[in-house]
Structure 1
C-alpha cells in the first residue's frame, strides 16, 4: 500500500543506517471537509446525518461523513493488507496535534512506529537495544536527518498520514470522485452502506486543500507509482461514521511483489473521538538517529 511503501521505506532507512509540518498539513484539509459537509446540507461541526442517511446519494453521504469524521478527530485503527508486512493496529489522531502509533510487521518481527507532529519514532527492539542501551525509541527527524544516506523517504510520511486521514479521503472523493452506491452491507456486525469511488490521482491531490506544494508532489508521486487512478471503497453507518475504508491508492507501489501490486488494503476505524491520543515519548527514552549518524560521520 502507499502507506506501507512510505512506512517500510522509513523503517528501511532506520535499519540501514518554509514547508508545512505534518501537523500543519493535517489541520489544513479541514476546510475541504467543512465545505463538503456544507454541500451535503450538514454542518461542518460534524452533526450526524438524519435517520434517512442510508437514502443519501453517494456524494452527499461521503460529504456528510467527512464532517462527522473531522469532528471525531481520532480513532483506533486496524490496517489489513495483502501480507502481514502491510498490516498493523494502532491509534490515530488526525486533528492537530496529529499523531499516529502503529504496531506493524517488519520481516516477521513486530515493530512499533510513532509519528508525533513531524517527527517519527521507531521502537527499539532487542537487536537494536545493544546500540541504544536503556532507550525504548529511536527518533528520526526528517528535518535533522534529511541529508543522511537512506533517510530521504522520511520526508514522505506526511503523505502517508494524509492518505490515512478519513476526513481528507471522504472530502476529496466527494468532491472529485466518480461515485456509486454498492448497497447495504454488514462490517463486523454493523449495518453500513457501501459506496465506491474512482478518482484520478491528480484530482485527489488537488482536493487536499492547504497542503504545501512539496507535500502535494510527494502524495502524487506515491499515488501514481501504480497508475493514474485510484479506486476507493467506503462503508458508512447510519450515524455517518466511516466504519471501513479500502482501496488501491493504499496498495503496494512498484517496489512490492507484482502479485500484490494491485492488492486492496482496508482500514477500520473504531472508538471514534474516544481513542487515546499518542504522544511523543519522554526524552530520556529516546535515542536520536541524527546524532548517531553525525558521530559516525555519515551526515
Structure 2
C-alpha cells in the first residue's frame, strides 16, 4: 500500500493503515452517518453504519481529494462496547499517467477501484506475529495499477 500511495502522490498518507481509522472517524459528523442495522461479525453482535468521510478533513486531505474525490464512502460495524469490529472502505483512485499502458488512451480516464475490509478482534490479546519469509510474498502493486483484472 505504501508503494501505491507513493505512485498516487499520497506518499504522506497511511493508506490501509488500521491506525488511521481514528483519523477517519474525526472527519465524520452526525450528518454523515446512516444506521443500517444489526449484523454479526465473527459471531459478535454489531451495528452496521454507512458513513461518508470528508476527505478534506483528513491529514493531507487536499492532496487526497485530488486522487479520491471529496468524500470517501466507508462502512463500520461497532460492537455493544463501541469497539470497531469491521471496516470497509470503497475508493476509486485516479491512476497516474505512468499506469496507462495503452498509448491511445488518456490517463485521466484510468481509475483503480479498491475495496478494503479490515476485521478487528481479540482485543487485549498479546500477539507474537512474524512476517512471512520473503520467498512467500509477491509485490502486486504494478500489476494492480496496470489493471489487476487483466490475466496474463
Task: Please state how far the C-alpha of 1:202 moved relative to its aligned partner.
Answer: 1.0
Tell me if structure 2 keeps the 8 A contact 1:177–1:199: no
Tell me how many residue pairs correspond in the alignment: 118
- 1:152-167 counterparts in 2 under 5 A? 156=11, 158-160=12-14, 164-165=18-19, 166-167=21-22
Match of 1:178 among 22, 32, 43: 32
Tell me if structure 2 keeps the 8 A contact 1:185–1:192: yes
Tell me if structure 1 keeps the 8 A contact 2:5–2:13: no
Q: Deviations over 1:70-128 (max 9, x none)?
A: xxxxxxxxxxxxxxxxxxxxxxxxxxxxxxxxxxxxxxxxxxxxxxxxxxxxxxxxxxx
Match of 1:169 in 2: 24
Gaps of 5+ in 1: 13-152, 206-215, 279-299
- Larger strand proportion, structure 1 or 2? 2
Alpha-carbon RMSD:
3.6
Match of 1:240 in 2: 82
Is the radius of gyration larger for structure 1 or structure 2?
Answer: 1
- Larger helix proportion, structure 1 or 2? 1
Q: Compute the TM-score of the two structures, normalised by the length of structure 1.
A: 0.32
Distance in 2 (alpha carbons) for counterparts of 1:231 and 1:269:
19
- 1:101-140 counterparts in 2 under 5 A? none
Task: Please state how far the C-alpha of 1:192 moved relative to its aligned partner.
Answer: 0.8
Distance in 1 (alpha carbons) for counterparts of 2:39 and 2:110:
28
Structure showing greater relative contact order (alpha-carbon pairs closer than 8 Å, 6 or more residues apart): 1
Q: Deviations over 1:125-150 (max 9, x none)?
A: xxxxxxxxxxxxxxxxxxxxxxxxxx
